[in-house]
Amino acid sequence: MTIDNSARTATASGTFSIGGDLPVTRLGYGAMQLTGEGVWGEPKDRGEAVRVLRRAVELGVTFIDTADSYGPAVSEQIIREALHPYADDLVIATKGGLTRAGPGDWRPVGRPEYLRQQCELSLRNLGVERIDLHQLHRIDPQVPLADQVGELALLKQEGKIRHIGLSEVSVAELEEARKITEIASVQNLYNLAERQSEELLDHAEREGIAFIPWFPIATGELAKPGGPLDVLAKEVGAAPAQLALAWLLRRSPVMLPIPGTSKVAHVEENIAAAGVELTDEQFAALATAV
């Protein structure tokens, strides 16, 4: 069996309602790679970046994740160029709280006035009056969490943010933030080969909070020739990356993988993973291979 990448759509991944009232297809698209090298500046081919976004939406993606720091601003601006005016069911999530001093350089700044400024800039760059999901990109250790999350809560009260999310947090940090305001999502590093956030994922599932795994298709040694992912990929007739995404979708109903790419062919391949169904044995074999 082989997977027809051009015919598979994201709708096969099912849906999840962020915050209980914002339904999205579970397999989304992460827009970090729509920029230049080091997530800095313009992409080599802006036209292809636009085509990638449009193709993702054509294939049923209704959840796109970006950040003000991707570029900076470049990713948000390309999303607006490609997709504005947005379809009614399209949810664009962004993040604020990381500053950039150059390619590959990321520094957390969580001062309330900075977070407010960046939210206002994201509204302008995306061309919206309200951000559906605005996430604190990193907790700034120099600023009380109550000040950081509290400012996002104020922006929510003002109607500029619909739902608030966090990125790279522990269960304790999530629960501290939830004492301040409702938290609809968490976004941590998580994939088949890197599962340090297992406790947070299980907690999010119990609480009905969306879990957005960034870097979702890292496969490491699993995909090397003769490795468990390579062997199973040949058995199923799918690419190793598709199996990695299918495993994530099977792992938890609150999981919203956001694979990113700058190529149309790759976005088609990634989205086709929504149609890959693993048996109980295949799922267990991948889970225990690490």
Nearest-Å Rg of the Cα atoms of the chain is 18
The CA distance from 144 to 131, in Å, is: 24
Residue bearing tokens 């790419």: 261
Residue bearing tokens 């209980």: 20
Q: Which residues contact 81 (CB under 8 A, 6 or more apart)?
A: 50
Helix (H) or strand (E) holding 92: strand 91-96
CB 50 within 8 A of CB 78: yes
> What is residue 50's DSSP assignment?
H
Q: Which two tokens stand for residue 149?
A: 């999350």
Q: Which residues contact 188 (CB under 8 A, 6 or more apart)?
A: 167, 168, 169, 197, 200, 201, 211, 213, 214
Q: How many residues in the chain?
A: 290
Catalytic residue among 70, 86, 114, 190: 70
Residue bearing tokens 């977070």: 115
**Sequence letter at residue 22:** L
The CA distance from 112 to 259, in Å, is: 30
Q: State how far the alpha carbon of 191 is from the alpha carbons of 54, 231, 256, in Å.
A: 26, 19, 12
Is 70 catalytic? The answer is yes
Q: Which two tokens stand for residue 283?
A: 């799922």
- Residues serving a catalytic function are 70
